[in-house]
Amino acid sequence: MKFQKPYLLKEIAEIINAEFEGNAEFPVTGINEIHKVTEGDITFVDHPKYYKKALTSKASVVIINQKSEAPDGKHLIFSDDPFRDYNYLVKRHVNVSKQDQQIDPSALIGNNTVIQPGSFVGKNVTIGEDCFIHSNVSIYDNTIIGDHVVIHSNTVIGADAFYFKRRPDFYEKMISCGKVIIENHVEIGANCCIDKGVSGDTIIGEGTKMDNLIQIGHDTVIGKNCLFAAQVGIAGTVKIEDNVILWGQVGVNKDLVIGEGAVVYAQSGVAGTIEGGKSYFGSPAIDAREKMNQIRHMHKIPELFNKKTS
């Protein structure tokens, strides 16, 4: 998320009542979690396992729970609880308020777009031309939808990210401040859920088609002309390149890449990055022909065992 106007480093430190190291006049332009940072951003780190990743990221400012010397080009803010302070900064810029109308007056709706009864359109939503939004669709604040998009009934666009920090006796929610962007000629089935980014954007590429009952996690970026069958579930911060096909009930783990043109057969589990241009099956998903051979060999085990014991 980018701020509407930059803050000075010293102003950020003052807001969260923390010490800092670096140029007090440095302009801070945004706040992002580690997967989405760009130059000028603040991010946070609260575990030694991720110190190096944060300190070598593109972020210009790091809220950290360990006193240390700032690497070249970095500015540090020292906090006893970076997650808490990161959330506090985000909350200052997330305006959640009651809405009394089903379509907020701030929404921009393109020519020839139809929104059926019972649908909700939040603040600062943009919907392009020639779209068809079926009944009981919920489109949360700040969503951007292109032209010729179809969204079927009971789908939710822009729900909060499923992102929590484990505390000793409860889970603390990470506040979502990103949005969803749906490009032109996308069709989304009934009862789908597309989560907004934690701090960046969840993007559905042009021409992609989704069946019913599909979950897309936060900050996931889906390429052009992908095809997803029913009950596909995709975790957060996944990159799916163009022309990927995921058949029914495929599950995709977080923080991975599915290469262009990959096909994943039904009921498979994608545990790590997979190359494009191949077909996959199984859990964890591997080359489909190899998996089929494994299954054939497994079916021969009882026969081999009986021969050995007879």
Residues labelled catalytic: 218
Q: Which among 294, 211, 219, 223 is positioned nearest to 250, based on CA atoms? A: 211
Instruction: Say which DSSP state 169 is in.
Output: S
CB neighbours of residue 254 within 10 Å: 14
Helices 288-299 and 301-309 cross at an angle (nearest 10°) of 30
88: left (phi over 0), alpha (psi -120 to 50) or beta: alpha
b vs e for 227-241, b when ≥16 Cβ sit within 10 Å of the residue's Cβ?
A: bbbbbbbbbbbbbbb
Residue pair 179/203 in contact by the 8 Å Cβ criterion: no
* Residue type present at position 43: T
Six token digits for residue 175: 């506040």
Rounded Cα gap, residues 1 and 29, in angstroms: 9
Distances (CA, A) of 188 to 211, 228, 246: 6, 10, 14
Rounded Cα gap, residues 302 and 286, in angstroms: 24
Q: At 164, phi and psi to the nearest 5?
A: -135, 145
